[in-house]
Structure 1
Amino acid sequence: MRSTTQIAALIVIAGLGAGWHLYGERVGLPTPLGLMGLEATASTGGAARQQAPQEQPVVVAPIRVGRVIERAESVGTVRARESITVTAKVTGMVTAIPFQEGQRVRSGEVLVQLDAAALRAELDQARAQHDDARNQMVRAQRLQPGQTIAEQRMVTLEAVARQAAGRVRQAEARLEELRISAPFDGRVGLRQVSIGALVQPGTVVTTLDDTERVRVEFSVPEVHLARLRVGSEVRAASAAYGDRVFSGHVAVLDTRIDPATRSIRVISEFDNADEALRPGLFLTVILTLASRENALLVPEEAIDPLGERAFVYVVRDGRARRLEVRLGIRLPGEVEIREGVAAAGEQVVVRGIQRLRHDLPVRVTETMTRPAS
């Protein structure tokens, strides 16, 4: 009985298997082998897609040639080209002050006159003594033949004449010291004395500044030392004059570097015909270090940074080539490329960089145009 039941069960199972096979072929359902075939086909298709990646859409821009100027910024202070504090040399009473405060004066022009009455009398006396000594010497030299004078007497007369001449020159020099004059062309400041005041040696009378040309002193970090040149352009601005820009040039470079600040002092000169730049004025200074007329420039978006390194993608033969570059000056919206790219005109990727890798095929969807600078 058990054997008959087992045989019947096997027959039913065999029939169901045959029925599934026929039904599966009729409706196209996959058999176990068919499923294995589909898996193999899917695997083969994936490998094919990896071997032939799809083109990535990108936006590019040409590398262009432009002018870049490398600058260093600092702060500076205006100094007069020539500047002194005018003081008295001798003791005396002020009798005249010919200048007006803020007046422009010429070299040699008298600023303050001290009382010279006593010294003029002394000078007159010295001149009279000199005339007498000279006359005696001349008469001795004109003696008639046979009228002789002792040689020692002649030597004495010559010495007296020289001494008298020396006293005259000394009195004239002291008289000159009573006239306080401008040593150079410039503009006087506020006067510090009044008529009738008794001044002593060193008493401040006023100030004198030559401001038709001024100096602006500032410091530059030592890293720029190799590019500092006498004659380099310097531009300066002050909050006092809004957008006005003053132009000058480097006149002097210090011979030493300050060990505390690791910077070098630079002196520049500016024309100042309208005297807008006053001594002591604070300025923002921009120094031109270098100028390159044929610099290679790319948009900022083209730079792919990686730590301290930088890369760009260049489109060549329909593929994105990843190149390491050395950057230079940054301009508004652009960056100078010092090394790494071939020449102007090449196309660099500016949009779609995130999806790129080296040698990936690309499809240019747009080429950006940029005006030449």
Structure 2
Amino acid sequence: MAFKKLHTVVAVVGIVGASTLAWWLQSPKSDVAAPTGARPLGVEIGQVKKMALRDDAEAVGTLRSSQNIMLRPEVAGRVLALGFADGARVRAGQVLVQMDDTLQRAEVQQSLAQMSIAKANHKRNQELVAQNFVSQRSLDESSAALQVTQAQLGLSCARLERMRLIAPFNGVVGIRNVNVGDYVKDGADLINLENIGSLYVDYRLPERYQTKVMPGQVIEVKLDAFSGRMFKAKVEAVDPLIESNGRSIGVRAVLANTSGEPVAAGANKPPTAPMQAASAAAQPASSVSVKVSPEAKLTSAPVVPPSVDRGVVLPSPQSLGCPANTFDRTRISSGGEQNGPLRPGMFARVTAVFAVKPNALVVPEEAIVPQGGKQFVIKAVEPSSLPVAAASGAASAPTLPPETKLVSQRVEVKLGIRRGGQVEITEGLAEGDTIVVAGQQRLQKDGSPLRVVELGRGPANAASAPASAASQAASR
């Protein structure tokens, strides 16, 4: 009987306790706990700083000769003489390939003889007309016959001129594909001529840079063949046509054939051995040990090794009585120094510099919060620094915890250049502003309390703890 009463008392006490606990959990909390406020959110912070930024674009390009041609004969024939050595410097007007012109010279001689007869007849008719022995018609016919013979002479001289290939500008010849005595057809490749005193750098940029690229801009060029050296070039022309496949524009810059500038330590040192070797290789093998002035190198005939068969050198058509060729009067005689280390076809890495901003405001890229097509940055400010609108909007938020020093403030910004993980801020921030660089995803409204976390200290301490414990265990 006493045992049953004990069970009843325990059951009643348990029911009362459960009811009390349920009432306490469901009852509203008192305002005493309000001062504790919302829990601060851990974030990493940084500052807006100034640094020099370059508005540039990188591309790859190719070096090309400022002038280059492939000499090809206009008519078929046999090679009679060669006026150059492989890889030699040549001057404008120098005969490079002489074809067999026996028939053409005979035609010139025939035309000269016919013209001589026509001149004599015309002079005789002039005298007879003055004495009224012949009619004016005879004089006119002799004058027309003289003009016909002069035209025939010009035609014969033109055919004779086509039997020799002449350098149109100063340059360096390549490796010949023909020998004396070879029979070549019209249009066959004989020898290439390159003017490498200055070179072109051809490269392409995306179409979004079309408003920034303009003639006269300076670009930086790096060549894989000469690592550690920088070359300067100037934009000469911009292609008005945008390529439809890659949506890019073509740009051409002029690059002087020099040894460039060092980009690493030791800028005052002379050019490196590879650069000097490349410069020496630009000279013919027979003239490497000879000191010649740059002017003499361009105006004097190249030294031809004894092993090269130059063939028979014939007199010019002008020595036979032919008039001066129109092509000779338009030939370019200038070409610049041809001994630089750079060569056409080299691979180039181009950096096009559009502008330099020495005092640009930058923030880390991870601090940018894109939202609704706009860009925002969350500033960490003191609670008293919140604007009135932000403070009224945050009035419904929980009360800030005690000793809260920083709260969040979302600011819209405008971005500029992006370089090396940094983004330029053109509007919205000032130098020295404190911003949130990590943890901003949890900050949904302005006025949220912040707790600064210094990344790296925690993991470092955690890593040192096992090491110290292991050292203590080893000492035991």
C-alpha separation in 1, matches of 2:190 and 2:110? 31
Q: Aligned pair in 2 of structure 1 residues 223, 105: CA closer, same or farther (>3 Å)?
A: same
C-alpha separation in 2, matches of 1:136 and 1:265? 63
Q: Aligned pair in 2 of structure 1 residues 365, 84: CA closer, same or farther (>3 Å)?
A: same
Structure 2 residue corresponding to 1:324, chosen from 412, 415, 426: 412
Structure 2 length as normaliser, TM-score? 0.59
| Structure 1 residue 154, shift from structure 2 partner | 0.8
Gaps in structure 1 of 5+ consecutive residues: 1-35, 367-373
The C-alpha deviation readout for 1:110-142, integer Å capped at 9, x for no partner, is 111122333223212221221221122123223
The C-alpha deviation readout for 1:36-85, integer Å capped at 9, x for no partner, is 9xx99x9444323439x999998653x34433222222222222222221
Matches within 5 A, 1:1-373: 43-50=30-37, 61=47, 63-143=48-128, 146-273=131-258, 275-299=340-364, 303=367, 305=369, 309-313=375-379, 315=381, 317=385, 320=407, 321-332=409-420, 334-341=422-429, 343-348=430-435, 358-359=446-447
The C-alpha deviation readout for 1:245-286, integer Å capped at 9, x for no partner, is 332233222222222222223333322245444222222222
Quick check: 2:73–2:185 contact (8 Å CA) kept in 1?
yes
Q: CA RMSD in A?
A: 3.5
Gaps in structure 2 of 5+ consecutive residues: 1-23, 259-338, 386-404, 455-476
Q: Aligned pair in 2 of structure 1 residues 57, 92: CA closer, same or farther (>3 Å)?
A: closer
Q: Match for residue 17 of structure 1?
A: none
Fraction of identical pairs, as percent = 33
- Higher Rg of the two aligned structures: 1
| Structure 1 residue 290, shift from structure 2 partner | 4.1
2:379 maps to amino acid: Y
Structure 1 length as normaliser, TM-score? 0.73
C-alpha separation in 2, matches of 1:157 and 1:57? 107
What SS does the aligned partner of 1:242 have?
strand
Q: Aligned pair in 2 of structure 1 residues 277, 45: CA closer, same or farther (>3 Å)?
A: farther
What SS does the aligned partner of 1:196 have?
coil
C-alpha separation in 2, matches of 1:73 and 1:345? 31
Which structure shows the higher strand fraction?
A: 1
| Structure 1 residue 300, shift from structure 2 partner | 5.4
What SS does the aligned partner of 1:261 have?
coil
The C-alpha deviation readout for 1:211-262, integer Å capped at 9, x for no partner, is 2222222222223333332333332323222232332233222222222222
What SS does the aligned partner of 1:327 have?
strand
Deviates more, 1:276-285 or 1:78-87: 276-285
| Structure 1 residue 348, shift from structure 2 partner | 4.2
Quick check: 2:59–2:350 contact (8 Å CA) kept in 1?
yes
